Amino acid sequence: MAAMNLVSAGVHSFNLKAGKRFSISKPKGCKLGPRAALVEAGPRGDGSPAALQVSRGDLAADLQAEARAMARAANASVYSPELLANKYGSRPVQAAKRTLEILVALGSFALQLLVDQRNGTLDRNKRKRAIELRGIFTRLGPTFVKLGQGLSTRPDLCPPEYLEELAELQDALPTFPDADAFSCIETELGMPIESLFSSISPSPIAAASLGQVYKAQLKYSGQTVAVKVQRPGIEEAIGLDFYLIRGLGFFINKYVDIITTDVIALIDEFARRVYQELNYVQEGQNARKFKKLYADKEDILVPDIYWNYTSGKVLTMEWVNGVKLNQQAAIESQGLKVLDLVTTGIQCSLRQLLEYGYFHADPHPGNLLATPEGKLAFLDFGMMSETPEDARSAIVGHVVHMVNRDYEAMARDYYALDFLSTDVDVSPIVPALRDFFDDALNYTVSELNFKTLVDGLGNVLYQYPFNVPAYYALILRSLTVLEGLALYADPNFKVLAASYPYFAKRLLTDPNPYLRDALIELLFKDGRFRWNRLEDLLIEGRKDRDFSAKDALQPVLKLLLGPDGEELRNLTIKEAVRVTEAIILGSVADTYNSAPSFIQTLMINGNGNGALTMSTADLEATMELRNQVFRIWGLLSSSENFDPALLQPILQVLQQPEGRSLGGRVVGGVTQRLAARLLQQLLRIPTVPTSSSL
């Protein structure tokens, strides 16, 4: 909800200080509570809402204010299928009327689909029918608007055309009377509105499916705030709808074989989220948690909550001056760049998904504002979701498997990601993944269009018995929305290119065993170290502002020097021998090439290839390996926070018995190879042994 949009010109306010008073007709069933239900309004410092809010930096006062807000929301509704069944099961007439309304709307749509199927035009008319379904959901009201938005994140349930159209569902619904809103504020907060605000906009500056927002000024602090008020009767409306929808879910689970997902579980999960949105104190707590986790970055803004002006049906938060992220011209007129803001949003989305696992579950453009200072402001924290800890690492591993084109491992990842039950055979899925990704990965990962990737993967998910978890679907939607916004500013923008530095940083620095193993899998192939992959990771990782050179590769080094690293040590020793030899031979070649010609003629027997008996291809490969290692060291040492002391643990370990053994094996291997080179030089043997027993 774009609750706090600067682009709401023409908004006027009632000036309560000037003596102008609201004439509020109280809606039926909405009585004004006692004036002292919270605390009495008065001068600052007397315990008034304003006084307490001014001192919100005081943690104790803030916690007390939050506790009072929670007490006011003690009777907030919680989703319970049993309670809904008891309530509406005894109201057959009301249920029948709403059922008829829904059946007529959805039945006509289903009939059109049946006609399309019989005429063989089902695929051709997908886009048209998706647009019609979006209109039907809008007309059926808040529950179905939310349902449509939920379906727009489920590629396992809907084809791509429906996903795109349902994603466009907006919360913009007709506003409800302002008198009802103002009366509800007084009821919820227990005080006359003129005691709370010195001014408040006479009409809402934003309206959504569950409520509408006013701009106001706190009476005692003068702070400008946004006041969100819940739509009257919304609990009754969505309660009846979910009761009926759940009954439909039972029917689908029992008789519709084509849908493999547990529809009842899906409905219950979604209903619980919508009911959580109805508790504005919960939304305030969500905002506070989100701010604590992610607003530590200077380019992220999350509004403060004013707990003394908040209840189950009223939410008061800091007003944020900003422009919707999809209003490119208005953003650029302030000297800001949409792409910079989108990149900030992508980095924050990745942190939400993969670091803390707590993320914004309603990331449409109206909930993202660009502030005049260039910050990205997040709004509307009613719907939040969480990524399981195991899944966070599995997602990064999934990206590694995609880069390596290891489709068997990608298919197995779906077990860890909870896409598939462990009793499902993934072998039929592998060819489908190969067919799609072999074509998609003809480009580098950073050149891939994220929407194309999601659409292609969505087709695979739709064809097989996948059950896409809500967290995964929602984050895909978030990144797709951000890429869509960026494409308006730059048609060549690629969200994966903007995401890759984060993945590279996590792989290089995260001590999580799963990610450490994924890094080793990425760097080693067929017993050889892929220096080009390490160089690419360092180049990309350095682009992330949180990259730390002192943390890079530390997880791998700990494994290498630990008791469980024998296999990795063997691989590393062989590679260390190759690198050391390359550095020595490269130095010899450089010395030879820089020597005067008469000195070169004095080299051993005037060998045609210089000082070394090596083919041109071998010499070039050796020099490239040496140069690559030097470049990698340069990338590390030139990082802002590089500290040579990061090598201290390695030196300490090398002084221990096992470390000395490791170093001895490397020295022995290098000595053997150099001795073989020298012998070849003397005997003119044209080939060089490619390995040695260490």
* Vertex 563 angle, CA 561 and 568, to 5°: 60
pLDDT per residue as tens digits for the range 201-229:
999 998 877 889 999 999 989 999 999 99
Q: Is the pLDDT of residue 691 over 50?
A: no
Asked whether the CA dihedral 368, 369, 370, 371 is positive or negative, the reply is negative
Whole-angstrom distance, CA of residue 162 vs CA of residue 128 = 9
pLDDT classification of 680: cutoffs 50, 70, 90: low
Exposed / middle / buried, residue 413 (Cβ in 10 Å: 0-12, 13-18, 19+): buried
Q: What is the mean pLDDT of residues 676-694?
A: 49
**pLDDT the model gives residue 371:** 96
pLDDT per residue as tens digits for the range 129-185:
999 999 999 889 888 888 887 777 666 677 888 888 887 776 556 789 999 999 999
pLDDT per residue as tens digits for the range 597-648:
766 565 544 444 444 556 677 777 778 878 877 887 777 777 666 666 655 5
Q: Where are the alpha helices (DSSP H) in 404-494?
A: 407-416, 429-440, 450-463, 470-489
pLDDT per residue as tens digits for the range 526-564:
777 787 787 787 887 778 777 776 667 666 667 666 666
Q: Which amino acid is at 228?
A: K
Partners of 14 in beta bridges: 200
User: Minimal CA–CA distance to 489: which of 343, 297, 376, 301?
Assistant: 343
pLDDT classification of 198: cutoffs 50, 70, 90: very high
User: Minimal CA–CA distance to 399: which of 348, 453, 462?
Assistant: 453
Q: Which helix (H) or strand (E) holds 215?
A: strand 211-218
Radius of gyration from C-alpha coordinates of the chain: 32
- Cα 614–chain centre separation: 51
Q: How many other CB atoms sit within 10 Å of the CB of residue 294?
A: 21
Q: Is 362 a catalytic residue?
A: yes
- Cα 162–chain centre separation: 22
Distances (CA, A) of 235 to 138, 408, 661: 18, 47, 71
pLDDT per residue as tens digits for the range 360-388:
877 777 788 999 999 999 999 988 888 88
Whole-angstrom distance, CA of residue 206 vs CA of residue 210 = 11
pLDDT classification of 441: cutoffs 50, 70, 90: low
Token pair 């990771």 in the structure block, residue: 537
Q: First vs last Cα of the chain: how many Å apart? A: 65
Whole-angstrom distance, CA of residue 352 vs CA of residue 386 = 9
Q: Six-digit token pair at 519?
A: 């890094």
Dihedral-angle region of residue 124 (phi above 0 means left; psi in -120 to 50 means alpha; beta otherwise):
alpha
Q: What is the mean pLDDT of residues 45-56?
A: 46
Per-residue DSSP letter, 640? T
Q: Which helix (H) or strand (E) holds 377?
A: strand 376-378
The residue from 62, 171, 304, 362 that is catalytic is: 362
Whole-angstrom distance, CA of residue 190 vs CA of residue 118 = 61
Token pair 């999350």 in the structure block, residue: 302
Rounded to 10°, the helix 470-489/389-403 angle is 50
Whole-angstrom distance, CA of residue 185 vs CA of residue 72 = 12
Per-residue DSSP letter, 635? H
Q: Which helix (H) or strand (E) holds 227?
A: strand 224-230
- Whether this model's pTM surpasses 0.85: no
Q: How many other CB atoms sit within 10 Å of the CB of residue 521?
A: 15
pLDDT classification of 193: cutoffs 50, 70, 90: very high
Q: How many CA atoms lie within 13 A of 12 on its CB side?
A: 2
* Vertex 564 angle, CA 561 and 570, to 5°: 65
**pLDDT the model gives residue 45:** 39
The answer to whether the CB of 214 falls within 8 A of the CB of 226 is: yes
228 φ, ψ to 5°? -100, 130
- Cα 577–chain centre separation: 42
